[in-house]
Amino acid sequence: MAKTPRMTLPTQLVLRTLLETPTKARYGLELSNAAGLPTGTIHPILARLENTGWLESFWEDQSEIEKTDPPRPRRRYYRFSPGGAESARLALAQAYNGGTTSARLRPAAGGLGA
């Protein structure tokens, strides 16, 4: 598998949402609503996770769309690849324990001794 993606808070929210039902394939808008993030944030994260090998995606069958009334656009579904859920769990645990985080502590404005 490729390297671990940056574990930003939105990435962590997406991974936690996917890990709620790790074997279920879910589409972008569904993940967006569940994670509480806009779709413009979700889709780049899903692409990065797919590029790392943690997720795989597939398009919905056309026959499923034909059953809907009114018709809707085809959905792209995402699910963990083999080993992807375990990699996500480990990365989340490391981020939670302070191993990788996007926030860093900085000294006070007056320096360390202020």
Residues 11/45, Cβ–Cβ less than 8 Å = yes
- Look at residue 64 in the predicted model and tell me its pLDDT: 82
Class for the domain spanning 9-96: mainly alpha
| Gap between the Cα atoms of 40 and 17, Å rounded | 17
Domain-by-domain residue ranges, the chain? Answer: 9-96
In this structure, is the dihedral angle defined by the CA atoms of residues 40, 83, 3 and 56, taken in order, positive or negative? Answer: negative
Share of the chain above pLDDT 90, in %: 66
Q: How confident is the model at residue 71 (pLDDT cuts 50, 70, 90)?
A: confident
Q: Read off the pTM.
A: 0.79
- Look at residue 13 in the predicted model and tell me its pLDDT: 97
Query: Of the ranges 5-9, 10-14, 38-42, 97-101, which one carries the lowest mean pLDDT score?
Result: 97-101
- Look at residue 102 in the predicted model and tell me its pLDDT: 45
